[in-house]
Amino acid sequence: MSLEFIVGRAGSGKTFTCLERIRQELRSHPQGAPILYIVPEQMTFQSEYALATTDGLKGMIRAQVYSFTRLAWKVLQETGGLSRQYIDGIGMQMLLRKLTEHHKHAFHMYGKVADQAGFIQQLEQMLVEMKRHCISTTQLENLLQQHKQTERKDQKLIDKLEDILLIYKDLEKEIHSKYIDSEDYLKLLAEKIVDSTYIADAEIIVDGFHSFTPQELFVLKALLTHAKKVSVALTLDQTYDDKLPTELHMFYGTAKTYQKIRSLAKQESVPVLPALWLDGSLGRHRENPQLQHLEKNYHRWPILPFSECKDSKASKVLKASINIAAAVNRRAEIEAVARDIIKKVRDEGYRYREIAIVTRNYEVYGDVLANIFKEYEIPIFIDQKKTMLNHPLIEFIRSSLETVTGNWKYDAIFRSVKTDFYLDFEQAMCKQKQREELDVLENYVLAKGISGSHRWNSEQPWRYAKKDSLESDIVYSLEDQQQEHLINIWRIRIATLLSNLENGLNKATLGKELCAALYQFLVELQVPEKIYTWQQEQEASGELVNARQHEQAWKSVVELLDQLVEIVGDQEVSLDLFVKMMESGIENLRFNLVPPALDQVLMANFDLSRLTNIRCTYIIGINEGVIPAKVKEDGMITEEEREYLKNTGLELAPSYRSRLMEEPFTIYNTLTSASDFLWISYPLADEEGKTLLPSSVISHCKELFPAIEEQFIVADPGEEVEERQLSYIVHPKPTISYLTNQLRQWKKGYTISPVWWDAYNWFASIGDLHDEKWKRAIDSLFYKNVESKLPHELIDKMYGKKIVASVSRMERYSACPFSQFLSHGLKVKEREIYKLQNPDIGRLFHEALKRVGQYIIEHGLRWADLSETECRELSERIVEQLAPKLQSEILLSSQRNQYILRKLKAVVSRATIIISQQAKGSGFSPKGFEVEFGPNVPIAFDPIALTKGHTMDLIGRIDRIDQAIVSGESLLRIVDYKSSMKALDLTELYYGLALQMITYLDVVVACSKHWLGEQAAPAGVLYFHVHNPLIQSNRPMTKEQLEQELYKSFRMKGYVLADPEVARAMDPSLADEGYVRSHIVPVALKKDGQFDSRSAVMSNMEFDALRKHVRETIQHIGNQLVDGNITITPYRLKQKTPCSYCPYPSICHFDCSLEENQYRILKPITDQQTLLEKLRGDSDDSSK
């Protein structure tokens, strides 16, 4: 028995010395006593590989590489102790979920957070921490009793510890005789070492550790007393036999570890041999003075700059040894690293396996780095266990359980559907075709708002029939029948399988029965076979990592179910608890990936990885708050509480303060990990452009090496000086991207470096080697986001010779021709969603008011005859009749929507009352409601002649047409119902954006002789706002005053004929003497009987001019249609643009930054007189 320390600074050769000792022993005594090389888990593979690839070594049976956990397995196999079932961290968390559910109502502190995400993980970490630090339930209970008796007791801490103790006790009872976890293995190992002959003859070498948990120290104590010899390698600047350095000293942590192990040896009377001190003469930095200087002086104060920085020869070597870089963003930083690695491998003879990239920001850098390195074709292994949550199998299980326990909601069902496990892999139809069919099913479910088991499992088939509007009959086409058949086939398949799962889970009472029901569901869907198919496909395409992930996912699920059976197999378990236990287990499933190749760059974790045989280290993301780290308080016990427990004798893991003290050592260890080259860099901004600051490590290294010039990395090589642009050309794929950007700048008139023309000529000369990407890149240079005219043959097929178009279609074309092409040419529609939206409410208002008007006409009544009560009763009855017809009974589907229905009744009632009040004494009376015009109806507007032999029929529906006889002349006005405030904008009318009202007026006046039996003249166009206003007042109001204010709020907007008699016919109150403002129409009469300046009136001539302009505009739009013009040219009028509400941005890709994509700027017309002058000017121009 003896103890030996192998000590030295970072890079002094400790690991090399340990391995070389083993090699020498294997060469001289290959059949001798065992040699155990104990290293951290993350270092085992590298160490085994280093020994296995030693030249001249014929075998290494004698020497074995172990972590503490693997050593426990070995010893317990020999001595016994493996009779208990092993439970891993996932099983432990499922067990803790069960215990928490049982006890959460008894918790003092954690009852309200027990169901929150992450609680079980924190609880497990807390209990593992206690076990690692050998804190038993008895010790914790004694501490609680002592603390309760103190004068200054902390009730919050008492509540926390009582909750933890409650779970801890039950956990110990559960696992005491049945299970064993990783922490118990170490405890059992320490007890069983005494019985191991394997250990008794062994020489132990411990390497790669900086500290040990109390459990690991117990194991070391047992090894010291029973093994032949124990050697421990530690990173130290000297041996600390007597006194520890100060806590601020960089080597304080390892010095403390040194003294702990030395004390254990003394306690057990184990001889301590003289320490083997390594001075670095054989270390990794022996031939690199710059890295040697960094290692020796990083912690020195005051700072000692590199002494040779003034020497030109040393400066050249320095540039090759250390590089400090600042990048504009993380992507630019990673691309610079990739370029440098390629140069190292290609030009300097490095192997990929000799290079490591180190970061603390795995979440931020991992995916971006993997994608960029794939483009540069650099093999990389990311040393991080990725979560399985995003794997299709895991998502399928979670969403399926959520479906059957959560009332079959849309989101859960289609999350499971989109994992592809419902597809028939053996069916002749390709998987893509099946996915498209499932898309149809999803669209149907969304449109109908289908939710709930009763609807999915309905015996009645789902009907695919559509309704065009509230008043039309069902339209049921052959295509609808085919789609109906399709959705019902898939609906039955999905519902049957999920119902089988639901029934199996509901019938089960024991834990093993629940697990069996879930497993049966997976087998029924042939999940194992489908996983195997995916695995084979990935292997065939060379995606070995993805192939292994599929295999691991299935094995992990089976193991998880096995552990669940072990934990609660014979116990009664509720379905709710089963799902929660499954969730706890699933959330912690991780992929354990072995490097698929040996020659790969390693992406390592700044805190956990142990780097060996690395020649080049790239440390990225060295920003303030990252390195050194801002240690967060995220555990169940606060820092103050940890300090208190430490002072009472219960020491847990290092506190916040201790971890801060360890940061300099962690940084030092990583900075000195390479033998040849160190790259340290930081981004100046994140992905959102927010500023990031450099770490103090950067400034410290600059002070150590003042001769180093910090490199500034840009994203675009064109921003570099010409001499450095060549450095961006290292690989064809990224070079094509850089070259494309440079050529784009050249097209804009900028000068580019000749090196890019050389690159262009090279790509042009190599033929098909990079043809696909090169062709796409060149095509992109000449691509313009413009749409060419449609050929005449296509227009004829699409529209026919006789075009039928609505006024809204004309307005859409004026807003953006391409939008009209998509909506009416290609008939692209937005996905229907079962959601009450403004257009639905507008349709309801229109139909309700139409039916009220029809009722009045059919019963020989007049609007003015209706009382307020009759208006309300009639309106409510009609809305009740319409509600079930609106979007699959959406107004009856929930309490919220039924409340909205009551509000809508009130709105229609109020509108009906106001219309009735406006009709009292009015000379205008309704002539029709929702009046259609177009071919084959009474109001048939003459076809509009277009070019190329085309004609166009206008169609539409007018909400209300009112008629009056004034001075013997028949007058017509248009009233349009709007659910929001609307006024007739003359600017929009002029530019063809608001054609509706004047077109309607033109149609009814032009066709009046035919459908009315007499020629009529225009009286006006008015918007009626359908609403139920809320009246605000700073003073009390009587009922009469309130009614008056309500009446005023319905004053219609628009324009009326500039004839006082016509205005009085619309509002009899205008006959009063003096200045009178109408509460019905937008006019006021002065004392002299003339309109005031604010009245919205137009003369007959002005109405005629507008009618003529509208006709000409519609004809012009029609000619543009048949000419095939579908340009992407949306307008901009002040700040208004159709793009703000357009559903097609993902199709048109309109981008103002492109020269060819610019808005049509429309100049506002300030007043009515200016409009008329422009109309006269346009008319004169057209006549000429």
Rg (CA), the chain: 41
Q: What percent of the chain has pLDDT over 90?
A: 58
Name which residue leads in pLDDT, 170 or 313.
Answer: 170
Q: Could you tell me how far CA 951 lies from the centroid of its own chain?
A: 50
Amino acid of residue 801:
K
Task: Using pLDDT thresholds of 50, 70 and 90, give the confidence band for residue 772.
Answer: confident
Pairing of β 944-945 and β 951-966: antiparallel
Task: Using pLDDT thresholds of 50, 70 and 90, give the confidence band for residue 476.
Answer: low
18 annotated to a ligand binding site: no
Average per-residue pLDDT for the chain = 89
Enter the tokens of residue 272: 């301590």
Bond prior to 461 in cis (omega within 30° of 0): no
H or E segment and range at residue 92: helix 89-103
Name which residue leads in pLDDT, 1166 or 854.
Answer: 854
pLDDT at residue 598, rounded to an integer? 80
* pLDDT (mean) for 533-537: 93
Residue 1099 has a CB neighbour count (10 Å cut-off) of 12
Handedness of CA 322, 323, 324, 329 (dihedral sign): negative
Amino acid of residue 255:
A
Q: DSSP character for 963?
A: E
Pairing of β 35-38 and β 203-206: parallel
Q: Specify the residue for token string 């991992």.
A: 366
pLDDT at residue 174, rounded to an integer? 82
1007 annotated to a ligand binding site: no
Task: Using pLDDT thresholds of 50, 70 and 90, give the confidence band for residue 656.
Answer: low
Q: DSSP character for 694?
A: B
Please give the full DSSP string across 1072-1101, using - where no structure is assigned: SSS-EE-SSSS-EE-TTSSBPTT--EE-HH
In this structure, are residues 297 and 303 in contact, taking their beta carbons and an 8 Å threshold? yes
Q: DSSP character for 104?
A: G
Please give the full DSSP string across 1158-1174, using - where no structure is assigned: --EEEPPP-SHHHHHHH
- Sequence-ordered list of residues with C-beta below 8 angstroms from that of 321, at least 6 positions apart, any chain: 288, 290, 291, 676, 677, 678
φ, ψ of residue 729 to 5 degrees: the values are -100, 95
Handedness of CA 297, 298, 300, 301 (dihedral sign): positive
List the Cα angle 863/865/867 in 5-degree steps.
Answer: 100
Enter the tokens of residue 686: 């994140």
Q: Is the pLDDT of residue 1168 over 80?
A: no
In this structure, are residues 25 and 35 in contact, taking their beta carbons and an 8 Å threshold? yes
Q: Is the pLDDT of residue 468 over 60?
A: no
Enter the tokens of residue 1090: 């003339």
Pairing of β 969-978 and β 951-966: antiparallel
Enter the tokens of residue 707: 């001769």
- Rounded Cα distance, 355 and 44, in Å: 18
Enter the tokens of residue 222: 């047992």
pLDDT at residue 947, rounded to an integer? 93
Q: Is the pLDDT of residue 771 over 90?
A: no
In this structure, are residues 800 and 943 in contact, taking their beta carbons and an 8 Å threshold? no
* pLDDT (mean) for 1084-1097: 91
Enter the tokens of residue 1087: 């004392």
**The domain defined by 3-84+183-278 carries CATH number 1.10.3720.10:** no
- Rounded Cα distance, 1066 and 1052, in Å: 11
- Rounded Cα distance, 260 and 257, in Å: 5
In this structure, are residues 218 and 186 in contact, taking their beta carbons and an 8 Å threshold? yes
Q: DSSP character for 682?
A: E
Task: Using pLDDT thresholds of 50, 70 and 90, give the confidence band for residue 607.
Answer: confident
* pLDDT (mean) for 1056-1078: 90
- Rounded Cα distance, 269 and 699, in Å: 48
pLDDT at residue 654, rounded to an integer? 73
Equal CATH topology for 3-84+183-278 and 392-464+475-586: no
H or E segment and range at residue 423: none
Pairing of β 1097-1098 and β 1053-1057: parallel
Name which residue leads in pLDDT, 313 or 328.
Answer: 328
- Give me the residue spans of the domains in the chain: 3-84+183-278, 86-177, 289-385+597-715, 392-464+475-586, 728-781, 788-1184
Kindly report, residue by residue over 857-890, the tens digit of the pLDDT: 899 899 998 999 999 999 999 999 999 888 878 8
Please give the full DSSP string across 774-819, using - where no structure is assigned: HHHHHHHHT-----PPPPHHHHHHHH-SEEEEEHHHHHHHHH-HHH
pLDDT at residue 72, rounded to an integer? 92
3-state secondary structure of 619: strand
- Rounded Cα distance, 136 and 172, in Å: 10
pLDDT at residue 1154, rounded to an integer? 83
pLDDT at residue 311, rounded to an integer? 43
**The domain defined by 392-464+475-586 carries CATH number 1.10.486.10:** yes
pLDDT at residue 767, rounded to an integer? 58
Q: Which is nearest to 212 in space by CA: 672, 654, 606?
A: 654
In this structure, are residues 1003 and 933 in contact, taking their beta carbons and an 8 Å threshold? yes
Task: Using pLDDT thresholds of 50, 70 and 90, give the confidence band for residue 309.
Answer: very low
- Sequence-ordered list of residues with C-beta below 8 angstroms from that of 972, at least 6 positions apart, any chain: 927, 961, 962, 963, 1001, 1004, 1005, 1008, 1012, 1016, 1017, 1018, 1019
Per 3-state DSSP, what percentage of the chain is helix, strand, and coil (rounded to 5)? Answer: 50, 15, 35
pLDDT at residue 815, rounded to an integer? 96
In this structure, are residues 1016 and 928 in contact, taking their beta carbons and an 8 Å threshold? no
pLDDT at residue 466, rounded to an integer? 61
- Sequence-ordered list of residues with C-beta below 8 angstroms from that of 113, at least 6 positions apart, any chain: 119
Q: Is the pLDDT of residue 178 over 90?
A: no
Residues in the chain: 1184
Q: Specify the residue for token string 């950007």.
A: 741
Task: Using pLDDT thresholds of 50, 70 and 90, give the confidence band for residue 818.
Answer: very high
H or E segment and range at residue 444: helix 431-448
**The domain defined by 289-385+597-715 carries CATH number 3.40.50.300:** yes
pLDDT at residue 977, rounded to an integer? 95
Q: Which is nearest to 299 in space by CA: 668, 660, 661, 659?
A: 668
Pairing of β 802-806 and β 616-619: unpaired
3-state secondary structure of 968: coil
Q: Is the pLDDT of residue 822 over 80?
A: yes
Q: DSSP character for 654?
A: -
Q: Which is nearest to 672 in space by CA: 352, 235, 308?
A: 235
* Axis-axis angle for helices 362-375, 330-348 (nearest 10): 50
In this structure, are residues 1165 and 991 in contact, taking their beta carbons and an 8 Å threshold? no
Kindly report, residue by residue over 336-394, the tens digit of the pLDDT: 999 999 999 999 999 999 999 999 988 899 889 999 999 999 999 887 788 899 999 99
In this structure, are residues 1008 and 1020 in contact, taking their beta carbons and an 8 Å threshold? no
Q: Is the pLDDT of residue 821 over 50?
A: yes
Kindly report, residue by residue over 885-939, the tens digit of the pLDDT: 888 788 888 899 899 999 999 999 999 999 999 998 899 999 999 999 999 888 9
Q: Specify the residue for token string 């990031």.
A: 692
Least confident of 68-72, 441-445, 631-635: 631-635
pLDDT at residue 567, rounded to an integer? 87
pLDDT at residue 848, rounded to an integer? 93
Kindly report, residue by residue over 952-995, the tens digit of the pLDDT: 999 999 999 999 999 999 999 999 999 888 899 999 999 999 99
Least confident of 318-322, 768-772, 1023-1027, 1075-1079: 768-772
Q: Specify the residue for token string 């059976």.
A: 565
The strand ranges marked E within 1029-1129 are: 1053-1057, 1076-1077, 1084-1085, 1097-1098
816 annotated to a ligand binding site: yes
